[in-house]
Structure 1
């Protein structure tokens, strides 16, 4: 019997993109898992969800997280914007954890609605002891229909923690508690099955759809003694993100090449450390210091990590933003 009248329960759209949460052993092969389960299968494993919301289920993709593309996520964002305008209470997206932090952040840039969007997945597939997908899915649905989660942008639900898309990172390759928010901490937790928020964040400025222009943006990481051989290849790009040492430093031999690139394409300076901000004028030891690089025209990425800075720059370029708009966007997102 239906546990509560349908009319009294909120509506939520569950989009399945694949990933570990949807993986099971293949009928042929060497025993490894691959995406096989549909959204209906995921929800059927958690009967309690029926008490929380009336669900619409869609299998949007059925691929590993590593296979997702920018155009896939732009299509998801377009659908979310349309459904939010039509009155859907909340949204849950299940996907692979390899790219979960990047998908959540890109959606946060592109999604314009107030209805909560919660991204989740699993570190243990459904055939493993202690599979975490069902609990994460239930937590995500409960958060997606929570009035407290409205207008908070895109959230990530994992291991009973709630993280803001702009801060969340995958920080372990296999742990069920793989996600954290360095420098910020979780925005909330699930307590006795209900989301409780510790603080709220203002929404980040949006990037307008469609992303119909083509652009190539890559990340180049500074390493000890690197000769910067890939800087030559960067000349073919439309944008570059530098994952610099510490507070925004690179080998001195990189500085002139980066300055030359910055005169032709947007080059964003970020830190490879995982937390903290690029500085603006503390170090001035000459070529390769943050003072020198910013003086050569690089854009200060602030506290943004290199992967998310790449997504912001790529989305801006693909939406048609010019250099002034890109500069303003990074200043606003810092």
Structure 2
């Protein structure tokens, strides 16, 4: 039987981290080839080619890195890969997978995975996650899902997945929809498919567009907001309380800023949509949206920031940005 060809691209992270030298803690040292070689069961699932694309702790990954990674993934698929697995640190998996989901318009599965326990610890989860990810990437059932995160034998949509715990191997959850599927006895099962995928086209040579992310809080007086544009940011996402509410003292600075750069209103709760027409007090969602802020819909602040940054990088203006966020649930 001919096995499917799967490309594995490693970026570093806990899954590849071991002790090196006499310093404290572990650092990314294992290459993609080493990771694949450590799980001999993979050879029964797919013919794998592995490469180290980056060797970084995940907070060091940039949008520019992910733009390059998306191009490499497309190249691998064009060259015959049936699917691609990306390994990286878990701290920013929800962000990396979301950017890849937006940039790639492929039917081939793109799976992002990692580990919570490094290879030097008892019960390291990296090998099981890598095997399950290759199984998903090689599966016909996973085609057309867009980028997904496979972790702890669950398949999560990049759009919804979140890291929810600092140490648990069951850290990844997808409020409010739950996982798209799971892996049982080596077989991927897909129970849910998203109604529509979203894609952002970037012109060749596009430049990074820095977008700030600030969270609202009890007693916030808004003094940070005027500095956003002064510091060179081209957009802002504000994680408001509840359904999209900010202290009244912040309304003026936010409205002024929204007149100069796109300002997206998200919720800091981590689940549910930003409201649009429920409350009417100063600083409510209706007040802020009437002053030019853009509702993030169901996207949390981190993902809204990435979508806004890519849209700005694509050359989109405020009206198009607003329409894109409005279409998000369709």
Q: TM-score range by the shorter chain?
A: over 0.9
1:64 aligns with 2:57: yes
**Secondary structure of the equivalent of 2:280?**
coil
- Give the equivalent residue in structure 1 for 2:39: 46
- State the 4+ residue runs in structure 1 displaced beyond 3 angstroms: none
Match among 316, 321, 325 for residue 320 of structure 2: 325
- Give the equivalent residue in structure 2 for 1:225: 219
Question: How far apart are residue 303 of structure 1 and its match?
Answer: 0.9
- Give the equivalent residue in structure 2 for 1:208: 201
Q: Does structure 2 conserve the Cα–Cα contact (< 8 Å) formed by 1:211 and 1:315?
A: no
Q: Does structure 2 conserve the Cα–Cα contact (< 8 Å) formed by 1:204 and 1:333?
A: no
Where structure 1 has 5 or more consecutive residues not aligned to the other structure, the ranges are none
Separation in structure 2 between the aligned mates of residue 322 and residue 81 of structure 1, nearest angstrom: 27
- Give the equivalent residue in structure 2 for 1:300: 295
**Secondary structure of the equivalent of 1:71?**
helix
Q: Does structure 2 conserve the Cα–Cα contact (< 8 Å) formed by 1:211 and 1:318?
A: no
1:55 aligns with 2:48: yes
- Give the equivalent residue in structure 2 for 1:247: 243
Q: Does structure 2 conserve the Cα–Cα contact (< 8 Å) formed by 1:152 and 1:203?
A: no
CA RMSD of the aligned region, Å?
1.1
- Give the equivalent residue in structure 2 for 1:280: 276
- Give the equivalent residue in structure 1 for 2:265: 269
1:139 aligns with 2:132: yes
- Give the equivalent residue in structure 2 for 1:309: 304
Question: How far apart are residue 214 of structure 1 and its match?
Answer: 3.3
Q: Does structure 2 conserve the Cα–Cα contact (< 8 Å) formed by 1:49 and 1:141?
A: yes
Cα deviations by residue, 1:61-117 (Å, 9 ceiling, x for unpaired): 011001111100000111112222333100000000011100000100001111000
Give the stretch that moved more between structures: 214-223 or 200-209.
200-209
The count of aligned residue pairs is 326
- Give the equivalent residue in structure 2 for 1:122: 115
Question: How far apart are residue 228 of structure 1 and its match?
Answer: 2.0
**Secondary structure of the equivalent of 1:243?**
strand
Q: Does structure 1 conserve the Cα–Cα contact (< 8 Å) formed by 2:9 and 2:86?
A: yes
Match among 67, 81, 92 for residue 85 of structure 2: 92
- Give the equivalent residue in structure 2 for 1:110: 103
Question: How far apart are residue 322 of structure 1 and its match?
Answer: 1.4
Separation in structure 2 between the aligned mates of residue 328 and residue 10 of structure 1, nearest angstrom: 40
Question: How far apart are residue 211 of structure 1 and its match?
Answer: 6.4
Cα deviations by residue, 1:284-310 (Å, 9 ceiling, x for unpaired): 01x201010010010011111000000
**Secondary structure of the equivalent of 1:270?**
strand
Task: Give the TM-score normalised by the residue count of structure 1.
Answer: 0.95
Separation in structure 1 between the aligned mates of residue 76 and residue 318 of structure 2, nearest angstrom: 33
Separation in structure 1 between the aligned mates of residue 132 and residue 73 of structure 2, nearest angstrom: 20
